[in-house]
Amino acid sequence: MKCLYGVLLSLFFAASIITVHADEALLEESSGFLAPVEGDSTDIRMVSERVIIELGRTSYTVDASFEFMNDGDTVTVPVGFPDFGYGYTNAFKGVRTNDTFKTWVNGEACTFKNTPGMMNIRIFGNPERDIILTDPDSLDTAHANLQKGLNPIETNSSSAMFVKELRWLVKEVTFPSGKTTSTRVRYTAVYGNFGHLEYLYGTGRTWKGTIGKAVFVVKSSPEVWMQSVPQFARGGFTSTRSYIKQRAGEFEHEYILTDVEPFESEIFSVFVKKRNLKQSEQPWEFYSEFEYDDKPVDDSFLDILSLDQLRLFRNSFYAIHGKVFHSSDLDTYFRNTYWYKPREDFEDTDLTKIEQENIRKIIAKEQWLKELISSY
């Protein structure tokens, strides 16, 4: 059985890197280079996908499994992930394949090939202009120049350049007629700006019809957590799609889409925070300020918090009014915030109605989560 190739998709900003990963994409040769096909040109459907994202302190691991059904004749086609990045040439070193990347088809391990796609070079001169490279030899030369810290092409201008580079890690896979084919990819990548990670599921539109079911699993820990509710976004950080959420444990969260035909740019977006030796900002803080002093909380926000975080969050409503804590961990935690001003005359009546309701919601979520954990 021939196997699927996978790819890392990496976005490089001028000062740092965001790595974005993508669904399996069906490819075709177009004008001498590989490009995604339109979903209505194939008989192969993506029946389901399960993307597991495990959050680590300095990097995260993606383990994604896919299931396809071929409703047409047996075909052998190129499939892969886009390896995409961009940035100014003084910082952007070109897209890079992560050497932790592995892929399987029907349980069998495969190798993959790094193939050039295209490059857009914007020169900020007079006049400002774009140069688009698609020839494989020219692309490989430009890529090698970027890796060396050089401009991708020679010009007589000293103007700044902004580069967008696309490559493919790709190979061919045989899809038997009327049968299911399963694939899997796994890799480790570093976080981007502000602990940001993205998974581009928009490439799933290259298959026939809709994606039957897409499950995104985020595994956090006491040391690394989600800083906000994950988003299914298109060109921003606000969710543009309805989804079902489930919790599989204290540190495991599931977000589910069904019968979805995504736009090309649709991503699953997560912001991550890791604990360090200094006071670490929790999800209810924004630039070290407590955000919920008189703001209702909703279940989606509470659902990303661990038991320890729920306890800290609940007591934050008391701390904002200066309650003195006799538990050493709470006392230490709040004294490390600049907004905590302890006072001996605190009374429960100091809490507003909104704060009292928030505390009630948190207590209910704590009890629910304890029961969920005990059931596993």
Q: How far apart are CA 258 and CA 183, in angstroms?
A: 19
The torsion angles phi and psi of 81, rounded to 5 degrees, stand at: -110, 145
Q: So what's the pLDDT on residue 80?
A: 85
Structural domains in the chain plus CATH codes: 8-274 (2.60.40.3680), 285-374 (1.20.58.1690)
Q: How far apart are CA 117 and CA 81, in angstroms?
A: 11
Model pLDDT, residue 367: 98
* Beta bridge pairs of residue 274: 224
Taking only the tens place, the pLDDT of each residue in 226-270 is 999 999 988 666 667 889 999 999 999 999 999 998 988 888 999
pLDDT for position 278: 47
d(CA 205, CA 157): 40
Task: Tell me the two tokens of residue 110.
Answer: 């495969």
**Cα–Cα distance for residue pair 259/48, rounded to 1 Å:** 9
- For the chain, what is the mean pLDDT? 85
pLDDT at 18 over 60: no
Q: What is the DSSP string of 3-60?
A: -----EEEEE-SSSEEEEEE--EEEEEETTEEEEPPGGG-SEEEEEEEEEEEE-SSEE
How large a percentage of the chain has pLDDT more than 90?
A: 51
